[in-house]
Structure 1
Amino acid sequence: MNDTPLGILFGLLAFLIICSGFFSSSETGMMSINRYRLSHKAKNKDKSALRVSRLLERPDRLIGVILIGNNFVNILASSIATIIAIRLYGDAGIAIATALLTLVILIFAEVTPKTLAAMHPERVAYPASLLLTPLLKIMYPLVFMVNVITNGLLRLMGINQNDSSNDQLTPEELRTVVLESGSMIPRRHKTMLLSILDLESMTVNDIMIPRHEIQGIDLDDSMDSIMQQLQSCRHTRLILYKGDINNVLGILHMRHASRFMARTEPAKEDLLAEAREPYFIPETTPLQTQLLHFQKLQRRIAIVVDEYGDVMGIVTLEDILEEIVGDFTSPMSGHNDEIQPEPPSAEAETDEPQNFIVDGTASIRDINKSLDWALPVDGPKTLNGLIMEQLESIPEAHVCLRIDDYYLETTEIQGNLVQKVRCWMTTSSEKE
């Protein structure tokens, strides 16, 4: 080696540094590649993806061949650099070679290739697999021996290399993946995916139509009143009860009601015979579970009851689907929206926040969704309940209170219920 021309030694040293950069970038690229995109491409029979997938099936062998190659070329490069330095500078060249080679390897064989591989893992991993695959076959005996020793040490530390639990995503991690997908997933699809993930954490109590808004037919009413209700009904299904809403007897589909109204002498017993038996569910049922129950039982409406069996409200299949895809039904004619913007006064300044007049019975989740607000939803479900919880009493006169970044001012109170509330968001100066 001492008789080898310096030009050849410098060329060999440069080649070894390039090899070191290859092994360094391969390691980072292989470990940084998106496993889910790789799996998708492999299922589509992409040759490069299949080759990389096979290498990643045994990461211990892949890392073994990369590190064996990287350490070999680095040690050889160090030896050649020492010979060159001694021939040029004598014994002082050892220190010079150590310093210069450390700097060169750090820049050209470590930081630069690894940064490039971290930024573009696929562009590095796919071509690198062309060389790593035959290298693994050639060096397999050495790699196998190293793996036996390292895997034995890992087992002594209680680590199972075949444990794949780290490759599985939790719902919260999947939510982060969706949120950080950028423009790869359209915004509407992203919203739907997040809504599906939310179904598990929401119950039917969060979206049900409350008891006082249920439209049904009391069989204690006169036949003329019942016929008038059936003729003017704009719902697909109606609740049939007797005397009290807690005494539900059936659920009537309007398609069957038309047969009843066509009778010459309709009777209440005939109306009840056209109805289907009621379907009761507890208020704590998760939406995801209820959606599966609707599908399994071929039902579209359920009556929500509390732990005492009292009716709390109703929930329909459409209500759950709207939580996923958004509202797809238009308001019925004659139906007043629960959230109305308040017209600004003549003396109001342009930078003042928009005020809204909201029904006290409006769902907090609907308010947040419509106005893009963040009122607390972990307690009461309605705006009236939220105000009473904050005041710890039923307001006897109009009050104004602040909850987080929002002002709520009662404008209409009837009995024990807040009917109307003026709501607005705090300004930037107030937040400061």
Structure 2
Amino acid sequence: MDNISTEMLFIVLGILILISAYFSGSETGMMSLNRYRLRHLEKQKHKGAKRVSKLLQRPDRLIGLILIGNNLVNIAASAIATIIGIRLLGDVYGVLAATVILTLVILICAEVTPKTLAALYPEKIAFPSSLILSLLLKVLFPLVVAVNWITNGILMLLGISSEQREQHSLSSEELRTVVNESGALLHKRDQDMLVSILDLEKVSVEDIMIPRSELVGIDVNDDWKRIQKQLTQANHTRVLLYRDSIDDVVGYIHARDALKMLSKSQFTKATLLRAVRELYFIPEGTPLNIQLLKFQHAKERLGLVVDEYGDIQGLVTLEDILEEIVGEFTTTMAPAPSDVVTLQPDGSYLVDGSASIRDVNKEMSWQLPTDGPKTLNGLIVEYLEDIPQNNLSVRIAGYPVEIVDVSDNMIKTVRVMPEHFVGAQTDEE
């Protein structure tokens, strides 16, 4: 070592610091890669991505290789810096100066700077580095395996297996965050549709069903001319048929079947009853994502929601579920939120008491509670535990609400005054 000039030692020291920076940056770049983008690039036959994926299959070996290389060059750099310090400043001050200066140089040039750069641009660092690391792994494989064997043994003593790795899978909440933060990569409408699909598991059939009180059907015990008139004036292609009351529902008739019989002059009450299609029943509380799959497997497009006693609660169609994802696209007899919410000159809103709370929240970006009653009338009655009188004012979830019209034991119209909102609250006041 005495035969090597000080200038040459400085050059070697600089090279070792650069190598240390390479190992530090490679480690951060490899570990900062987006695993899902990496899988996508791997499927696209990207060579760098394939090499990195192969290395990341055994992260213990990859980390072992990088740390072996990094520690070797750092220890070598420390030894050379000590020799240079002794030559220039003597035994005491030389060792002290070499320790302090080398620590600062390695910290700044071989740790913080390359790791920051790799964290900002992981693909640009990891993909080229994977070529060198793959070659080094082959050369140093016995040493890497030996080090891993020792470290894995220590982990086993601590009750940890090297096979117990964190699975890079996303929960629905994490996936929702990814979609919302996709920015310009996804159109806003596409983001809304994807989030709506994830939200299906949070919504049950009761939230979107046509309630029992609003079900429209035909009593097969009526006069035949009245039945014909009702069929010709029906607003839906599928019409419920019942005897005397909706509790005794017999099925439904498709308008296409009625037209076929009418075209063949075979349209009578007897043929109508023979053409009745069997109804599909849905237990209340069924999440929409589950019901969508059930509709698909059963090849059905509508079903009646029943409670635990078998009583009919309402009706759900396939279109209702699809509209939860893509928005309204079919003709419906139910009023749209814009039809049940009317802006007043003073800035308040008149809202139909029978309006769905979920629909009103969507339309107006309000946060009325949806974990209880489904309609505004039901929410207020539950809160007051009584049927209120006109001109009564309450505050629900921070929203000042005035009961404007009550008739037939139902709240028909309320006034909501958003300019007086006291912030979003989750609990009823």
Relative to structure 1, the CA distance from residue 334 to residue 101 in structure 2 (aligned partners, 3 Å threshold; closer, same or farther) is: closer
- Structure 1 residues 336-393: Cα deviation after superposition (integer angstroms, max 9, x where no partner): 954232341xxx4xxxxx4322221111111111112221111111111111121121
* CA distance in 2 between partners of 1:309 and 1:108 (Å): 74
Return the match for 2:366 from 341, 361, 373. Answer: 373
Q: How does 1:95-114 map to 2 (within 5 A)?
A: 95-114=96-115
Do residues 253 (structure 1) and 254 (structure 2) align?
Answer: yes
One-letter amino acid matched to 2:317: T
* CA distance in 1 between partners of 2:386 and 2:87 (Å): 92
Preserved CA contact (<8 Å) 2:337 2:363: no
The aligned residue for residue 35 of structure 1 is: 35
Do residues 312 (structure 1) and 313 (structure 2) align?
Answer: yes
One-letter amino acid matched to 2:326: V
Do residues 398 (structure 1) and 391 (structure 2) align?
Answer: yes
The aligned residue for residue 386 of structure 1 is: 379
Per mean C-alpha deviation after superposition, the further-off stretch among 247-256 and 257-266 is 257-266
The aligned residue for residue 119 of structure 1 is: 120
- Structure 1 residues 91-112: Cα deviation after superposition (integer angstroms, max 9, x where no partner): 2111111111111111111111
The aligned residue for residue 273 of structure 1 is: 274
Q: How does 1:307-346 map to 2 (within 5 A)?
A: 307-330=308-331, 338-344=339-345
Shift in Å at residue 409 of structure 1? Answer: 1.8
The aligned residue for residue 298 of structure 1 is: 299
The aligned residue for residue 243 of structure 2 is: 242
The aligned residue for residue 362 of structure 1 is: 355
Percent identity between the two aligned chains: 53
Preserved CA contact (<8 Å) 1:339 1:356: no
* CA distance in 2 between partners of 1:206 and 1:336 (Å): 15
- Structure 1 residues 248-279: Cα deviation after superposition (integer angstroms, max 9, x where no partner): 10011111122344575854332221110111
Do residues 409 (structure 1) and 414 (structure 2) align?
Answer: no
The aligned residue for residue 67 of structure 1 is: 67
One-letter amino acid matched to 2:229: Q
* CA distance in 1 between partners of 2:277 and 2:243 (Å): 15
- Structure 1 residues 1-52: Cα deviation after superposition (integer angstroms, max 9, x where no partner): 1331111111111111111111111001101100100000101111111111
Relative to structure 1, the CA distance from residue 409 to residue 260 in structure 2 (aligned partners, 3 Å threshold; closer, same or farther) is: farther
Q: How does 1:148-167 map to 2 (within 5 A)?
A: 148-167=149-168
* CA distance in 2 between partners of 1:49 and 1:336 (Å): 49
Preserved CA contact (<8 Å) 2:283 2:306: yes
- Structure 1 residues 119-147: Cα deviation after superposition (integer angstroms, max 9, x where no partner): 11111101111211101111101000001
The aligned residue for residue 427 of structure 2 is: none
Preserved CA contact (<8 Å) 2:319 2:330: no
Unmatched runs of 5 consecutive residues or more in structure 1: 349-353
Preserved CA contact (<8 Å) 1:283 1:304: yes
SS in 2 for 1:410: strand
Preserved CA contact (<8 Å) 2:390 2:404: no
Shift in Å at residue 181 of structure 1? Answer: 1.9
Q: How does 1:113-262 map to 2 (within 5 A)?
A: 113-262=114-263
Preserved CA contact (<8 Å) 1:26 1:117: yes
Relative to structure 1, the CA distance from residue 335 to residue 25 in structure 2 (aligned partners, 3 Å threshold; closer, same or farther) is: closer
Relative to structure 1, the CA distance from residue 164 to residue 254 in structure 2 (aligned partners, 3 Å threshold; closer, same or farther) is: farther
- Structure 1 residues 288-343: Cα deviation after superposition (integer angstroms, max 9, x where no partner): 11111111111100000111111100000001111111111255699895423234
* CA distance in 1 between partners of 2:322 and 2:361 (Å): 18
Shift in Å at residue 77 of structure 1? Answer: 0.6
Shift in Å at residue 220 of structure 1? Answer: 2.8
Per mean C-alpha deviation after superposition, the further-off stretch among 394-403 and 45-54 is 394-403
* CA distance in 1 between partners of 2:319 and 2:348 (Å): 30
Relative to structure 1, the CA distance from residue 423 to residue 261 in structure 2 (aligned partners, 3 Å threshold; closer, same or farther) is: farther
Relative to structure 1, the CA distance from residue 170 to residue 208 in structure 2 (aligned partners, 3 Å threshold; closer, same or farther) is: same
* CA distance in 2 between partners of 1:224 and 1:335 (Å): 33
* CA distance in 2 between partners of 1:105 and 1:98 (Å): 11
* CA distance in 1 between partners of 2:373 and 2:36 (Å): 40
SS in 2 for 1:62: helix
One-letter amino acid matched to 1:12: V
SS in 1 for 2:304: strand
* CA distance in 1 between partners of 2:333 and 2:354 (Å): 18
SS in 2 for 1:421: strand
Preserved CA contact (<8 Å) 2:403 2:415: yes
The aligned residue for residue 351 of structure 1 is: none
* CA distance in 2 between partners of 1:334 and 1:380 (Å): 18
Relative to structure 1, the CA distance from residue 97 to residue 381 in structure 2 (aligned partners, 3 Å threshold; closer, same or farther) is: same
One-letter amino acid matched to 1:75: I
The aligned residue for residue 6 of structure 1 is: 6
Per mean C-alpha deviation after superposition, the further-off stretch among 67-76 and 197-206 is 197-206
* CA distance in 1 between partners of 2:115 and 2:79 (Å): 24
Per mean C-alpha deviation after superposition, the further-off stretch among 405-414 and 249-258 is 405-414
Preserved CA contact (<8 Å) 2:301 2:318: yes
* CA distance in 1 between partners of 2:169 and 2:198 (Å): 16
